[in-house]
Structure 1
Amino acid sequence: MAQGSSNQLVVPQATAALDQLKFEVAQELGIAIPQDGYYGNITTRDAGSIGGNITRRLVQIAEQSLAGK
């Protein structure tokens, strides 16, 4: 995750899984994420698309978990 982020994870061990999810979503959307970790060249629209899709997917996972699937 970004080192300058003020967000704190409830489960710090989830960092790698969230990073993997970010790369998967970006790849599905056709957005190239720089490997050096600098996101300054990503447009706000692209960053929002990635974040929105991550949120959508996490909500879907939680709903399935609550439904017992």
Structure 2
Amino acid sequence: MDAADLELLVSRQMPYGKYKGRAIVDLPGHYLAWFARKGFPPGEIGRLLALAHELNHNGLLDLVEPLRKR
């Protein structure tokens, strides 16, 4: 993980599925946990989903709050 990935979490939107158009960081925990069980997709979206899951699961979403205010 690097700072650029944290910035992408707040700016990149989910490109498909039930939560299409929602910022990756705003996806619900149960949805991220589903990906964790079934497998994250390849590429940048998968990497960001995995990071969002880790932050959500460990209660660290406050780390991205300052980035939302930019």
Structure with greater proportional helix content: 2
- Between structure 1 and structure 2, the one with the greater Rg is 1
Structure 1 length as normaliser, TM-score? 0.31
Structure 2 length as normaliser, TM-score? 0.31
